[in-house]
Structure 1
């Protein structure tokens, strides 16, 4: 985002018509008055005191909201500010300064209980939905498995269209948790793989088609992170999904694990004229951005596949990536394609 700074006007030059002496412009010397002394000393002192008070108050507020136990109590109060406290706690968990919190089992368990209670309560007003969203995001930041069960419960709750965003955030929270604690450990946690499989079978309906497509695509991504034979078999099925992002996440997930079934859709993604990639984009600008994103993801996936399956036949992928070094494509795509050639060329195997 480009910031537009306000520009102060340059000082104006005043042209003197005639030369004047100091005696003409300086007032006669007088003893300082009480009013003058008040202006000189008291008013600046008041300003300094006000600034100190404001800063002290601000520091107190920051310190008062930096205690995780206080934040959890305010979250449990279920008032208008609860979702904001959950947001603040999530930010703390992402902050390296509070890295020890990410292994706090008591804190994770308490947040998980709140999320489970909120899911069971089934309140669909905006603030309660937002609370569940930010609890899902916070639980994903831990480096312990305690929050997985609550995230599974949130991912499965499908009683109202407003919950679709919560379900997607729960899936995203599980993906972040997998990165933090290890995919195998999360995959073995009770209910996780079954829940992700269920979500990957979401069928779109007319009024919530876009949201359910996005949810299914998120599930495909998470299956690729989790790995394992059941997940890979499901990803192979999702390669035929009508929703492009779901297909693409399935292909990149298979590529991550060196599964040759990824090739067909990766070749689709590597085609810069691929209309499916930009089918629902509203403007030319967003189409170009989406096309660039898909090409970049496909190049990365092809390189990752080459590393995971060094004995695979990479000839078609290598040719498709080589074509992306053409001059009419964005520079970042050309550079990425050139870099990927290190992994795809026969000399690297």
Structure 2
């Protein structure tokens, strides 16, 4: 498939159902210049073909520590293995993650800014983003803030994406499994003890905590302090479970209580992991992401893919907007709102998507979404000598279509997260797109979005 075909197929994909967006879904809405994407994908496929081994990923740690070309093979293989399901257990292995983070940390300290050394650190950062525990977070923060040479921006970009993905990986089990499971078991346990003499109070307490668990699950993937809140909920559950146990007279009731206690213990454990990515003002994590989102240096870097020097500040702001949307928090939302006025369209569009994730409606957000729907601006870094007119037109057309598709998805997220938001100007833009959008796929998707929006009441 050619680089021109990929954006076209993406633009023709049907709109997904509205659901809590994962970092993987958000990265689909992420604006990255098409020529860069094509180059990255080409390099990735090249090295993935080298990494087709089926051995134990743990054996590749020694290759990471070597100074030979084998460390390239190992870094790409490990990133591929961690992304797949065959070795999913490694994503929860703190020692394995710590060993990989140590290699990255040592490479950062070594200070080699040659192209291969920088690319090696970039791959390692991406690999660490596949874990579901926070062991390597300090190293990723270090990678996101270390820049002694313009070429190291590649590592910073990869580390920012990894931080966002890691955050989502840690929070999602609480949102999708543990909190709903605790709520269901608490209600079942309440039913089991309510009939016992004196058990009504214990049952009512479990039901109240079940309601809290359900409420937290609904906002978990965008809660900036999920770790702290889930930890407090687990602490409240423990004495309630102990109190209810005294009134569980049936074997089935005692079984439900035991399951609930085990689930609460798992919530407490996962809450400790999530606390590491809770937003705290002036923390190294917050400073790293806010720093990238506020990067306005005029420096340029050599990019061998484009065979020219290119500015990089807007790329950091793009990734910063993406990471802020995943991390959340009042300070993050304020910065994202400011970024709607950025001079670079990619930054504006990523900020808009992140704000939609949090239901943070505003007049300026509406203006940006209307722009994305009806008149998207495209800025693509061109290689030395430029594109021929045919290639340039294809990239421009496909990029605009993808931005419009992303805007439709973002609008549906905003509507789902903020049912009271005034979407009149946005709906008007979607209606216009449904009538005049080209190609036909855009008109169909716009009409589908209108059907969903019409159900808001």
Count of aligned residue pairs for this structure pair: 286
Q: 1:280 to 1:86 in 2, by over 3 A?
A: closer
* CA-CA distance at 1:344 after TM superposition: 2.0
1:115 corresponding residue in structure 2: 104
Question: Aligned match of 1:62 in 53, 59, 65?
Answer: 53
CA distance in 2, matches of 1:199, 1:206: 14
Question: Aligned match of 1:187 in 251, 266, 278?
Answer: 278
How big is each residue's C-alpha offset from its partner over 1:136-194, in whole Å with a ceiling of 9 and x where there is no partner? Answer: 01100001111211111011011101101111011111121122112543234852222
The reply to whether residue 217 of structure 1 matches residue 318 of structure 2 is yes
Contact 2:299–2:312 at 8 Å: present in 1 too? no
Question: Aligned match of 1:163 in 144, 152, 157?
Answer: 152
How big is each residue's C-alpha offset from its partner over 1:216-242, in whole Å with a ceiling of 9 and x where there is no partner? Answer: 111111111111101000001111111
Q: 1:62 to 1:290 in 2, by over 3 A?
A: closer
CA distance in 1, matches of 2:157, 2:379: 22
Contact 1:119–1:154 at 8 Å: present in 2 too? yes
Question: Aligned match of 1:239 in 333, 337, 340?
Answer: 340
1:196 corresponding residue in structure 2: 289
Matches of residues 113-152 of structure 1 in structure 2 within 5 Å? 113-152=102-141
Contact 1:93–1:99 at 8 Å: present in 2 too? yes
1:321 corresponding residue in structure 2: 430
Contact 1:83–1:128 at 8 Å: present in 2 too? no
Contact 1:76–1:114 at 8 Å: present in 2 too? yes
2:443 corresponding residue in structure 1: 334
What is the alpha-carbon root mean square deviation over aligned residues?
2.0
CA distance in 2, matches of 1:181, 1:316: 36
Q: 1:125 to 1:243 in 2, by over 3 A?
A: same
Matches of residues 283-322 of structure 1 in structure 2 within 5 Å? 283-322=392-431
Question: Aligned match of 2:328 in 202, 224, 227?
Answer: 227
Give unpaired runs (5+ residues) of structure 1.
3-60
Contact 1:278–1:290 at 8 Å: present in 2 too? no
Give unpaired runs (5+ residues) of structure 2.
3-51, 172-220, 225-273, 302-309
Q: 1:125 to 1:323 in 2, by over 3 A?
A: same
The reply to whether residue 97 of structure 1 matches residue 86 of structure 2 is yes
CA distance in 1, matches of 2:403, 2:297: 23
Runs of at least 4 residues off by over 4 Å: 278-282
CA distance in 2, matches of 1:161, 1:336: 41
TM-score when normalising by structure 2: 0.59
CA distance in 1, matches of 2:437, 2:334: 38
Residue 267 of structure 1 aligns to a residue in which SS? helix
Contact 2:292–2:320 at 8 Å: present in 1 too? yes
Contact 1:306–1:343 at 8 Å: present in 2 too? no
TM-score when normalising by structure 1: 0.77
The reply to whether residue 106 of structure 1 matches residue 95 of structure 2 is yes
